[in-house]
Amino acid sequence: DANSNEPVNDFRFFVGVQGGEGQDISWKSSYKVTKRNDYEMRFTYPSDEYYIRVEAEGYEPEISRAISGGEGYVIVDFKLRKIMRVTGTEPSP
């Protein structure tokens, strides 16, 4: 959690690959992590660059920087920001 620095316990992460320059990221399978604040994964899709997207209920999704396939062991920390909910009522005409 970006505000409290406490772990976000239930989250999903997705592996992304970019097909080529200027192309959108193609998101592959998702993985769910519960009651832990770390994860480990291997990139198995052929690509020059990989991305990780993390999503959790009540938080904005966050996407990692591009990770090169030749970097070896990489640590990526995510600080998820809570979604700001706005409520109110419309004024009567």
- Give the model confidence (pLDDT) of 38-84 as tens digits: 677 777 777 788 899 999 999 999 999 999 878 888 888 899 999 98
Whether residue 47 contacts residue 18, with contact meaning beta carbons closer than 8 Å, is answered with yes
Q: Specify the pTM.
A: 0.76
Question: What per-residue string of b and e applies to 51-79 under the rule 16 or more CB within 10 Å gives b?
Answer: bbbbebeebebbebeebeeeeeeeeeebe
pLDDT at 46: 76
> 35 or 10, which is more confident?
10
Q: How many CB atoms lie within 10 A of CB 1?
A: 15
The helix/strand/coil state of 68 is strand
- In the chain, count of helices (H) and strands (E)? 0, 5
pLDDT at 53: 93
pLDDT at 35: 64
